[in-house]
């Protein structure tokens, strides 16, 4: 993800720059639930919680420079946005161990840089990319992706190169590079589960497309890609269009023919019904390294605010309306998301962002989205892991608890979203009849959950909230000897009131719920 939302999301930043709403009255502090009778809403993909490793991480190249390594003058709008990083070591045992704990998952290798990457289908990759390309992906590097995916129980998702280097004399996209990548993948026992034609076609000017690229050109090229994919890899899911950033105020949203952008509506109108799954991207803001600002709200006020958390649903509503109009009935995947575009803000690596991360998973599962892919696993400030040390960040621990406790069947908790009571319910993973509640208290006041059943609670907290460490039931979470992941144990709770501390996130497992939807 490069500056690909810079042209289309500026007004959204202003729209989400609100402070905490007034806390609920004392009469509203108690939440009552009936886990045994919660009805089934649907299911999500077994690989619902997934992640991205950017193509530029695989090849090596210039990516968003973490704030910790930037000079003080580079903390906001500044030319010092990027730094070179060598190719990620996907054979690293620690990285594999931590990624495997999140499996099964989808691993998306894409991003803005993927649009212009040359696959070197030879034993020795060129030191410089051929004309019309910007980066080089070697056989060995792609084999590393395939081996990593196999080791961590992930299925590969990617996108195709669409830069001038893959076009014929008339400027039409040709599938030769895609064919080489797919054939090599197959030759070494790998597979590509799903692919978007290109990364973020709504912003082609930034994404490496030819100058003047428009909806008509995209539709023409997409049809070539679709015919090729149906023949070459008939079992590969075709995702699309993979746009993002169009939930901003109307003045900044893409317009048919506006400079450097293509409206997704125009893309879908021209391409016809060619995708298998509808995909989109969502970032609630630009990071401040790309001149994004959260208005006058502090990071803490923004992270806990209802408007900020609601941006997830607003983005889905926009793209779901396009899905309904042009691809009715198709599943929806969110294939790229994080706290903010352009590498994330400093708070993306702290507990502050875990409220968004887990609330987003809860909201989208309840709304029927099948897959959510976080950007990234281990790069820049929004990575689940620190890119240098691979130390788990708070979002990683939240992801691990989701994986451990939340099953694929989604339930209706019967609770309306309000300040301090964001409640989501799933069947408990690997526990027939059991129910897991995810309760996010984004209030600075304690709330109470009333449940008729005994259970076990797993409460995440941090003080201050911008801390890079997070506590589980009061104990700091960290890796053990040999980078072993600690046992995530809950604390027993009795039937009746369960206190939800201020600004905390609680998973509550109710193994004895006997919910018929969870049998």
pLDDT in the model for residue 318: 96
Q: What is the pTM of this model?
A: 0.93
Domain boundaries, the chain: 10-411
pLDDT in the model for residue 29: 76
pLDDT in the model for residue 19: 35
pLDDT in the model for residue 28: 59
Quick one: fold of 10-411? TIM Barrel (3.20.20)
Mean pLDDT, the chain cut into blocks of 10 residues (519 residues total)? 43 36 49 97 98 98 87 50 95 98 98 97 89 97 98 98 97 98 97 98 92 96 98 97 74 48 95 96 91 73 95 96 97 97 95 98 98 97 97 98 98 95 97 98 97 98 96 98 96 97 98 97
Task: Using the Cα atoms of residue 448, residue 450, residue 454 and residue 460 in order, give the sign of their dihedral.
Answer: negative
Q: Are 181 and 58 in contact (CB under 8 A)?
A: no
pLDDT in the model for residue 255: 43
Instruction: Identify the bridge partners of residue 427 per DSSP, sorted by sequence position.
Output: 435
Enter the tokens of residue 302.
């923004």
Instruction: Identify the bridge partners of residue 472 per DSSP, sorted by sequence position.
Output: 460, 475
Instruction: Identify the bridge partners of residue 278 per DSSP, sorted by sequence position.
Output: 240, 332
Outline where 157-261 has alpha helix (H). 176-187, 215-232
Report which of 475, 442, 263, 476 is spatially closest to residue 360, judged by C-alpha positions: 442
Cα-trace Rg, the chain: 22
Whose tokens are 């509503």? That residue is 317
pLDDT in the model for residue 248: 47
Residue 157: helix, strand or coil by DSSP? Answer: strand
């Amino acid at each position: 993800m490069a500056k690909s939302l810079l042209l289309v999301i500026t007004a959204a930043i202003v729209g989400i720059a609100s402070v905490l709403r007034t806390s609920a009255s004392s009469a509203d502090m108690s939440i009552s639930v009936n886990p045994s009778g919660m009805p089934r809403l649907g299911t999500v993909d077994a690989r619902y919680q997934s992640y991205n490793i950017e193509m530029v991480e695989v090849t090596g190249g210039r990516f968003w420079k973490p704030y910790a390594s930037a000079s003080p003058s580079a903390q906001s709008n500044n030319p010092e946005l990027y730094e070179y990083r060598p190719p990620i070591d996907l054979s690293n045992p620690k990285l594999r161990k931590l990624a495997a704990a999140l499996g099964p998952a989808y691993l998306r290798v894409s991003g803005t840089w993927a649009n212009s990457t040359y696959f070197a289908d030879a034993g020795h990759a060129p030191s410089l990319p051929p004309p019309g390309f910007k980066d080089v992906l070697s056989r060995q590097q792609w084999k590393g992706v395939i081996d990593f995916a196999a080791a961590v129980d992930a299925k590969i998702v990617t996108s195709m190169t669409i830069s001038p280097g893959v076009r014929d004399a008339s400027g039409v996209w040709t599938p030769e590079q895609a064919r080489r990548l797919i054939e090599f993948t197959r030759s070494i026992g790998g597979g590509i589960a799903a692919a978007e034609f290109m990364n973020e076609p709504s912003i082609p000017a930034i994404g490496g497309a030819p100058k003047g690229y428009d909806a008509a050109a995209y539709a023409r090229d997409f049809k070539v890609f679709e015919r090729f994919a149906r023949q070459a890899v008939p079992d590969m899911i075709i995702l699309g269009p993979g746009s993002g950033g169009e939930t901003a105020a109307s003045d900044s949203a893409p317009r048919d023919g506006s400079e450097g952008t293509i409206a997704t509506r125009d893309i879908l109108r021209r391409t016809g019904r060619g995708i298998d799954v509808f995909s989109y991207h969502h970032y609630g803001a630009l990071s401040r390294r790309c001149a994004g600002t959260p208005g006058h709200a502090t990071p803490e006020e923004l992270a806990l605010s209802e408007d900020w958390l609601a941006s997830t649903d607003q983005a889905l509503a926009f793209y779901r309306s396009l899905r309904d109009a042009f691809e009715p009935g198709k599943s929806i995947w969110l294939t790229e998301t994080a706290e903010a575009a352009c590498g994330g803000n400093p708070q993306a690596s702290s507990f502050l962002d875990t409220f968004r991360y887990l609330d987003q998973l809860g909201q989208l599962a309840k709304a029927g989205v099948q897959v959510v892919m976080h950007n990234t696993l281990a790069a820049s400030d929004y990575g689940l892991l620190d890119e240098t040390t691979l130390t788990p960040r708070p979002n990683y621990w939240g992801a691990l608890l989701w994986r451990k406790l939340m099953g694929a069947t989604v339930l209706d908790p019967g609770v309306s979203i309000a300040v301090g009571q964001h409640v989501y319910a799933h069947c408990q993973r690997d526990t027939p009849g059991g129910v897991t509640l995810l309760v996010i208290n984004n209030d600075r006041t304690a709330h109470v959950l009333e449940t008729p059943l005994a259970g076990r609670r797993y409460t995440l907290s941090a003080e201050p909230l911008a801390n890079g460490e997070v506590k589980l039931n009061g104990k700091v979470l960290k890796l053990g000897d040999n980078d072993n992941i600690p046992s995530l144990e809950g604390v027993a709770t009795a039937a009746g009131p369960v206190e939800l501390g201020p600004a905390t996130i609680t998973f509550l497992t109710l193994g004895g719920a006997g919910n018929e939807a969870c049998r």
